Amino acid sequence: MRARFAAFIAAAAVVVCGGAAHADPIRTWGSSQAPPATQGGAATSAGGASTPPPPPPATIGTPIEPVDAVPPTPASSAGDTEAVVRSPGHVGLRYVLEGIEVRGNTATLARVVLRYVPFRSGDTIDVDDSEIELTRFRLLGTGFFRDVNLSLRRGTHRGYAILVITVVERNTMVLNDVWLGLSADAEPNGAARPLTAYGGIDVAETNLAGTGITLGGAIAIADGQLALRTRFADPAFLGTSWTAEAQLLYNHARDFFGNEDVLVDDPTQQVTQDFAVANYTRFGGSVGAGHDIGVTTRLYVDYRLEKLDASLPLAASDHYGSEIVPINFFILPGSSILSTVRATLIHDTRDEPVLPTRGDFFTLVGDVSLTPLGSDYPYSKIQAHLSHWIGLPWAGHVLKLDAFAGAIFGTAPVFEKFYIGDFTDLLPDRVLDLNFDRRSAPNFLNNDISEIRYGDYALKLSAEYRIPIYRGTRSIYGIDFFGAFGVYSVADQNLITNPPPGYEGLAKLPIDLTFNFGLRADTAIGGFMFGVSNFLGFLPVRGAAPQ
Amino acid sequence: MIRNRRAAALFLLAAFAPVLGVPREAVAQTQGAPQPANPSSLPTRRASFAWDNTLLRAGFSFRDVVDKPLAEKLSSGLPNVILMRAYVFEEGRSEPVALAVRTCTVTYDLWDDIYRVRVSDPNGVRNVPKINVDGVLRECAEAHDLPIVDRAILEKGHPHFLGVLVEVNPISPAMLQQIRQWVQRPTGSTGINPGDALFGSFVGIFVRQIGTSAASLSFRTQSFTP
């Protein structure tokens, strides 16, 4: 077991070394290139060969010299006249690119800016090329800059030009998420508690030391529970078009099993408790790579290795319908290893990330546990999630249709299973894989969904209607009222093939309803959602399980 | 009936634009372009109107759309576009009955030290060199005797006005969509659950910076009666 864990540490070290290697200067575009021969087109130039170039204007930031420059070939008079090319019927001009100059970058390295520029010294640049404007938006899209402007200035010889990229940097420390809420959990001895608070925060520096690398961290805390994450992401790993990611995680977690009347064997005696409590820790990490497949689609592949240590009751039993059955904690007692490979496909055609009015967001995720490489949990898992936004023809109203389906085959650890609280809006979601709540499903339809907490199969269909109530252009861009309604099911193999005794007819179908309403806001510091269902979840509206 | 006639007139304007001399690129620029939402409430600006037989010609200025930074940008060596759309409205109605478009593409020639201006309007397409920014603005930020509409399309005896929209460096809806899709994709959002995407939300912040143009201006003119 220790050897396998040491192997993970070695793998993590390789990732760190890879990141350090990336800090070295990368390629210098065009450094070995001579200006190419003049391209075709009508060659016109007035004024002969040797107009002296004007001195470069004062530089705002660093560097002063073109960061990507190639000395022009000593030009003959014929070459000089051919270097400026005018397309027939267009105002458009073409120049031989002598270099690229980056200005205004006090923190961001010039080579990081140049990653997003598709031109090289020696290229013939057509001023009408749409790539020039797209370059500006690529740079804005990094999130490193508040403004970006591109311009040309004369090169050292007629027909040559230097591309000047002027950037205005912005704060790149980003608050990604804040979690605050109330939950109903249990004491370490299994006694139910009415209310406890939980919270967490997620921050990231998206341009670490001007390298374009993202380094982030997150923490979630509840009574007796702690989750920590650090994540590294390089969107242009080693100057390539591949994204590289690495993450370290630590969870000290507690989970609750049973339904307010369980029998638990501890080492000395058998006692009756409200809930059986399982404690476990996770430590490990993942490394991965991602690549674009077209403008709207991206593929990621990750490898994960974790060491688990679980402290479980010797035995515990609970009601399953009208029967008493042993509780499965879905995690091995003592130490165990989890090793998986995950592939994620993302297809995103939304017009806006926070308050979309049209488009789709589709994710397909597949996990395979690598038992030949030492994983103690043989399983595979697949999840598909599709959201579709439809802009309605009246007053900016938007309808969102949402579908999720997932299945697990094999023996997955508890935190990989489908948790009922992730599908109903009336219970807190898991945060960084921590589960804060002991309650079962609300069970509005009074069926056997109250018997399940973690499942191997999950399905959810929902719709959300949004009504705009405010639109702005400064710090708050928009606020919408939303109302959502959905139906979901979580089940495992046992619930399907061996329904709990006491349920008849449609009550054997583990289906429940969920709803939420509140406000969604798009602001200068990100998107927010204020829903009321978490509080409504504390109202006693649940269906009762048969005893 | 009148409404149908206006719709037919707009359809005919679009369909026969090439025949009537409206450049194809000028028509393309208007596709998907916004119309003034409430044109009669726009700020009023004086314009000169004259009848050239049955053709209405107009003159007005919109130099103020180009502020100092944009004027400096005209010398960037890269193309800058000033797009003007003049919609003809009947007073009290919000549907235009005619449209005149002028597109001006300005590119500073680094080595000849002149501004190469390509103008596309109902008079046709022409390339005009200018030696300074003032000359560029006279060509591109003012309308002189701009052909607007034939009298036959207008409702006789009813007051009409022009609703003018001016944009600098407008972005086509197709490119805007492409840019937004490109920009908003988060870096490293591999997670499927809300809590999993560590870096999933920040990039959306910058999408808002991408407007549909670098600058815009809208106004209406005083009324004229055909």
- Model confidence over A46-93: pLDDT tens digits? 333 333 333 333 333 333 345 555 555 544 433 344 444 444 445 568
Q: Of residues A269 and A153, which shows the higher confidence score?
A: A153
Does the pLDDT of residue A252 top 90, yes or no? Answer: yes
Asked whether A110 and A139 are in contact (CB, 8 A), the reply is no
Whether A497 shows a pLDDT value over 70: the answer reads yes
Average pLDDT over residues B75-102: 91
Q: Is the pLDDT of residue A276 over 90?
A: no
Beta bridge partners of A196: A183
Q: Which helix (H) or strand (E) covers residue B15, if one does?
A: helix B2-15
State mean pLDDT over A159-169: 93
Asked if A127 and B198 come within 8 Å (Cβ–Cβ), the reply is no
Confidence of residue A546 (pLDDT cuts 50, 70, 90): very low
The average pLDDT across A122-135 equals: 88
| pLDDT band for position A526 (cuts 50, 70, 90) | low
A543 pLDDT exceeds 90? no
Q: How far apart are CA A10 and CA A16, in angstroms?
A: 10
The mean pLDDT of chain A is: 78
CATH topology assigned to domain A171-536:
Porin (2.40.160)
Nearest neighbour of A295 by CB, restricted to B107, B110, B178 = B178
Higher pLDDT, A41 or A383: A383
Average pLDDT over residues B1-23: 41
- Average pLDDT of chain B, as a whole number: 76
ipTM > 0.95, yes or no? no
Nearest to A176 among B79, B179, B200 (CB): B200
CA dist., res. A229 & res. A282, Å (int): 11
Report how far residue A208's alpha carbon sits from residue A73's, in angstroms, rounded to the nearest whole number: 38
pLDDT tier for residue B1 given thresholds of 50, 70 and 90: very low
CB atoms within 10 A of CB A88: 7
Averaged pLDDT, B54-80 = 92
Which residues, 6 or more positions from B30, have their beta carbon under 8 angstroms from its beta carbon? B85, B99, B101
Give the pLDDT mean for A240-256: 90
Q: What is the pLDDT of residue A540?
A: 57
Q: Which of A68-77, A195-204, A464-473, A510-519 is the least confident region?
A: A68-77
What is the model's pLDDT at position A423?
A: 93
For B109, the closest chain A residue by CA position comes to A93
The reported pLDDT for the residue numbered A426 is 87
pLDDT higher than threshold 80 for residue B17? no
3-class DSSP assignment, residue A350: coil
Q: What local confidence, expressed as pLDDT, does residue A223 receive?
A: 85
Give the pLDDT mean for A31-38. Answer: 32
| CATH 3.10.20.310 describes domain A31-169 | yes
Could you tell me the pLDDT band of residue B206, with boundaries at 50, 70 and 90?
A: very low
Q: Does residue A517 contact residue A482 with C-beta atoms inside 8 Å?
A: yes
Chain B residue numbers touching A127 (CB-CB < 8 A): 77-79, 107
Asked whether the CA dihedral B147, B152, B153, B156 is positive or negative, the reply is: positive
| % pLDDT > 70, chain A | 77
Ramachandran region, residue B145 (left: φ > 0; alpha: ψ -120 to 50; beta: rest): left
For residue A39, pLDDT over 50 is answered with no
Report the amino acid identity of residue A85.
V
Task: Work out how many CB contacts closer than 8 A connect A with B.
Answer: 177
Residues 161-190, chain A, touching B (beta carbon < 8 A):
161, 174, 176-177, 179
| Percent of chain B whose predicted confidence (pLDDT) is above 90 | 49
Contact A353/B at CB under 8 A:
yes
Name the pLDDT band for A479 (thresholds 50, 70, 90). very high
Q: Bigger pLDDT: B29 or A103?
A: A103
Cis omega (within 30 of 0) for bond into B129: no
Is residue A63 less than 8 Å (CB to CB) from chain B? no
Predicted confidence band of residue A291 (pLDDT cuts 50, 70, 90): confident
Inter-residue contact B199 to A176 (CB < 8 Å): yes
Partner A contacted by B198 (CB < 8 A): yes
Higher-confidence residue of A462 and A73: namely A462
Residue bearing the bigger pLDDT, A183 or A423: A423
Q: What's the whole-number mean pLDDT along residues A457-468? A: 96
- H helix intervals, A492-537: 493-497, 533-536
Percent of chain B scoring above 70 in pLDDT = 65
Query: How are the residues of chain A apportioned to helix, strand and coil, as percentages rounded to the nearest 5?
Result: 15, 50, 40
Between B59 and A347, residue with greater pLDDT: B59
Does A201 score more than 60 pLDDT? Answer: yes
Residue B194: both structure tokens together = 């809300």
Query: Where is average pLDDT lowest: A53-67, A263-277, B78-92?
Result: A53-67
Q: Tell me what the mean pLDDT of segment A339-345 comes to.
A: 94
A351 touches chain B (CB under 8 A): yes
Chain B residue closest to A522 (CA)? B205
B50 pLDDT higher than 80: yes
Query: DSSP letters along A221-264, please?
Result: EETTEEEEEEEEEETTGGGSS-EEEEEEEEEEEEEEESSS-EEE
Q: In this structure, what are the phi and psi dihedrals at residue A32, rounded to the nearest 5 degrees?
A: -110, 10
- A188 confidence band (pLDDT: 50, 70, 90): low
B3 versus A289: the higher-pLDDT residue is A289
Flag if A290 and B188 touch (Cβ within 8 Å): yes
Task: Check residue A320 and give its pLDDT.
Answer: 80
* Mean pLDDT, residues A173-193 taken together: 73
Taking residues A109-113, what's their average pLDDT? 88
Q: Which residues of B touch A385 (CB under 8 A)?
A: 192
Question: What ranges do the domains of chain A cover?
Answer: 31-169, 171-536
pLDDT at A7: 41
Percent of chain A with pLDDT over 90: 34
Interface test with B, best of A127, A249, A415 (most B CBs within 10 A): A127
Q: Do B188 and A214 touch (CB under 8 A)?
A: yes
Q: Which residue has better confidence, A314 or A300? A: A300
The average pLDDT across A180-186 equals: 76
Binning pLDDT at 50, 70 and 90, where does residue A354 land?
confident
What is the structure's pLDDT at A284?
A: 95
Question: Which of A81, A93, A296 to probe the B interface (max B CBs under 10 A)?
Answer: A93
pLDDT, residue B180, reads 61
Residue A45 reports pLDDT greater than 70: no
* Least confident stretch, A195-204, B106-115, B171-180: B171-180
The Cα A114–Cα B69 span in angstroms is: 25
Q: For residue range B114-131, what is the model confidence (pLDDT) as tens digits?
A: 999 999 988 889 999 999
Residue with more model confidence, A58 or B215:
B215
| B185-195 per-position pLDDT tens digit | 444 333 333 33
Chain A touched by B187 (CB under 8 Å):
yes
Closest CA to A260 of A419, A440, A422, A430: A440
Q: Does B117 contact A at CB distance below 8 Å? A: yes
Q: Where residue A481 falls among pLDDT bands split at 50, 70, 90?
A: very high
- Say how many C-beta atoms besides its own lie within 10 A of residue A520's C-beta: 19
Q: Report the chain A residue with the minimal C-alpha distance to residue B178.
A: A295
Residue B210 to residue A140, Cβ atoms within 8 A: yes
